[in-house]
Structure 1
């Protein structure tokens, strides 16, 4: 029997007609509005519909034309609702199956899915390789208010794999609560794929490139970073010193000193950063500020050397590598966030 015959027979199937009648009533009772982009009621309905489709496809012998016929019937009844195309019904089914397999999620996680726009949800399940990774991006989207292009960039740059991976001494130099939050703030490696530098670039060119693309730089650093300045002047005794980059983190309530190195990590780099952190604590830190932290960005590092170097440092320091290029699809490059989208993301993260 071909698909066309199956569809014709399905329209006369008593079980299908009864289910379709109940489904139409459910649509009416929930008062779905296709114009609302983020609608927890709509997404809750999608979840139940996906579950229903999966169950009935497993139990009922309705043939290959089931979704096509269902789309036709629902669109005829509710022409103002755009979510009942055959393609979207397949997405709804796929969305439910993604989260209800071997790593089935609980009700709390399901509720979080309802807080994320439908387009974001589809982007997440199409690009994430596991449910834990997908849920990370769901929670991050809720927390930071990411646009879809920002979400895409974060997934493609492997944020889930990089966050909290930097080597640091935070657990011995910061109170437990701040230590955990500070560690999650760091990434390793940082990806600066928005920079175009010459092959033999120096630290000043590196710094200049980051500050010229400050919105992309802030996005890569993460929500909460506020830019204070570059080559920030401090005076200790009779000598002048200049900090590469100085930020303030509005969640950690502390200054963040960033030192840039275009070479491999060396132990003396940590010593210099330790000095700068102490100077900022003495000269800039005010009542209510928590201890200043430092981030050393270097081209490469030996993990054991970095751990040894930080073990006896009195100030909190994290060491991360950076990458100037990332294997991103060309079509994604055109979707990188605009200034307005980044500003929206930053506002959502505060």
Structure 2
């Protein structure tokens, strides 16, 4: 029996080694391919510039290049693909990211090239690399206007920082979005559902919800019970943010936010700060997710120097660009 276990452990170790090596090979091949496409794009642009006095030179060059490369190297060098390589160089030759290396797949860069705003494009490149987003995750974050939602509450210097460093978490406000987009729950706006049903859907789709919450979040508990003076309360969802080193409490509200809801969250946050958090941890953050809210109610219920309690709207459907812009501006 012991020999069998020893053999199994040995096989597992070899399998881990092979998988790690395979992933490194794939990553290296991917980076080499993307860098090669970038270099091809650069050479095309420079060649076109040197021959720009000849009418139609660029179009002729791409056609000739496509035919020759396809003949010598097979598929992947259609005229459309070569134009994409040229666009790749033109879009990313002056980029500012965490590194000069290309860390994403070619499919990621094809998506990024379709983002016109350079600052926004840089932001999504950095965040995709930092958070290891799949192409699908990148597409989802772009569709839900993550950059716009984060940029809304920032000044010009902070927006520039988003485009050069990505999202940096230094204070509680940095993790907050307004609105939160929860289209992955499959709950159309017109269907009535309870807070318990909303909570259950979020638990069922926890991986998606963590992606929407952002960097550094880990799930701790649901319906977390706290008690004092023979009274019992339940916090809907409890998370921990490893970067800010603090608990994040989330309360779910159907309909419009009331001042009593804010007071309840203040109580939860105070309890966690005094009874749960450790000495080396930062103050607890409370987020109330609601369908609607009055900014005046939020403003006058919370103290002027508030840095712990936040109220954000949520949408259970992916709004149109016009509707999303309206939600953000509200």
TM-score bin, normalised by smaller chain: 0.7 to 0.9
CA displacement at 1:112 relative to structure 2? 4.6
Q: 1:68 to 1:181 in 2, by over 3 A?
A: farther
Aligned to 1:183: 173
Aligned to 1:156: 143
Distance of 1:258 and 1:191 partners within structure 2: 15
2:112 counterpart (102, 124, 128): 124
Distance of 2:98 and 2:242 partners within structure 1: 30
CA displacement at 1:149 relative to structure 2? 0.9
Aligned to 1:230: 222
Deviation sequence 1:57-113 (CA, Å, 0-9, x none): 24313353321211232344445xx6533322111112223346xxxx35x449556
Q: Report the TM-score when normalising by structure 2.
A: 0.75
Distance of 2:98 and 2:248 partners within structure 1: 36
Say which SS state the counterpart of residue 281 (structure 1) adopts: helix
Distance of 2:169 and 2:49 partners within structure 1: 50
Aligned to 2:43: 52
Deviates more, 1:220-229 or 1:35-44: 35-44
Q: Report the TM-score when normalising by structure 1.
A: 0.71
Distance of 2:247 and 2:98 partners within structure 1: 37
Distance of 2:58 and 2:281 partners within structure 1: 65
CA displacement at 1:208 relative to structure 2? 1.8
Aligned to 1:43: 34
Distance of 1:38 and 1:142 partners within structure 2: 16
CA displacement at 1:312 relative to structure 2? 4.5
Aligned to 1:6: none
Distance of 2:109 and 2:273 partners within structure 1: 43
Say which SS state the counterpart of residue 249 (structure 2) adopts: strand
1:139 lines up with 2:126 in the alignment? yes
| Contact 1:274 1:313 (C-alpha < 8 Å) held by counterparts | no
Deviation sequence 1:296-327 (CA, Å, 0-9, x none): 11111223332332235766112111001114
Say which SS state the counterpart of residue 220 (structure 2) adopts: strand
Q: 1:36 to 1:210 in 2, by over 3 A?
A: closer
Distance of 2:218 and 2:98 partners within structure 1: 33
1:67 lines up with 2:59 in the alignment? no
Count matched residues.
278
| Contact 1:306 1:319 (C-alpha < 8 Å) held by counterparts | yes
User: Which sections of structure 2, spanning at least 5 residues, go unmatched?
Assistant: 1-24, 155-167, 322-330
What are the residue-to-residue correspondences of 1:207-226 with 2, within 5 Å?
A: 207-226=199-218
Q: 1:188 to 1:315 in 2, by over 3 A?
A: closer
Aligned to 1:11: none
Q: 1:56 to 1:313 in 2, by over 3 A?
A: closer
Aligned to 1:247: 239
Q: 1:63 to 1:202 in 2, by over 3 A?
A: closer
| Contact 2:288 2:312 (C-alpha < 8 Å) held by counterparts | yes
Distance of 2:123 and 2:169 partners within structure 1: 20
Higher relative contact order (CA 8 A, sep 6+): 1
